[in-house]
Amino acid sequence: GRSAMAAVRDVEIDPEGTFKYILVRLQRPGGGEQRDIVRGTKAAEFHNHIFEKVNPEMEKLGYECKCLGGGKIEHNSKDKKIRVFGLSTGYGKADHSVTVEILKKEYTDYEITWSDDKK
C-alpha cells in the first residue's frame, strides 16, 4: 500500500563530491500510484550501474522502474549547495528541473541549481 512507497526515500546521493545520478520513475504494475526518485553515487562509473542496483531493490518492493534520464550532481555539503548538470549517454538527459524539486524535499536549506552545461 501507501506505506511501502512512502518507505522509499526520495533521494539517496553521496554526501559530498561530483558524481553521476539518475532520475527513476517507480510505478505499481497496472498503473495507479507512481513517483520519481533521485539516486546518485561516486561508486558508479556509468549511469546504468546505478539503475542496476536500484531496479532489483524496487522490484522486491513490487515496483516497476523506468529510468527517465541522468546527469551529474555536484554536492557541496560545506556550503550547502547542489548543482545538477550534464547528461547520461545511455539514458539521455534527465529533466533537471524535476530533479531539483525532488532534491529540495530532502535538502530544504540548500541552494540548488541546474543547467544543461556538460561540466
Count CB neighbours of 44 within 10 A.
20
Whether residue 58 contacts residue 81, with contact meaning beta carbons closer than 8 Å, is answered with no
Whether 47 is catalytic: yes
Q: Which residues pair with 114 in a beta bridge?
A: 84
C-alpha cell at 23: 532520475
Q: Is 60 helix (H, G, I), strand (E, B) or coil?
A: helix
Query: Which one from 47, 49, 75, 96 is the annotated catalytic residue?
Result: 47
Q: Is 93 annotated as a binding residue?
A: no
Which amino acid, one-letter code, is at 94?
A
**Residue 24's Cα: distance from chain center in Å?**
6
* Distance in angstroms (rounded) separating the CA atoms of residues 90 and 20: 12
Annotated binding site: 20
Q: Write out the catalytic residue numbers.
A: 47
Annotated binding site for substrate: 20
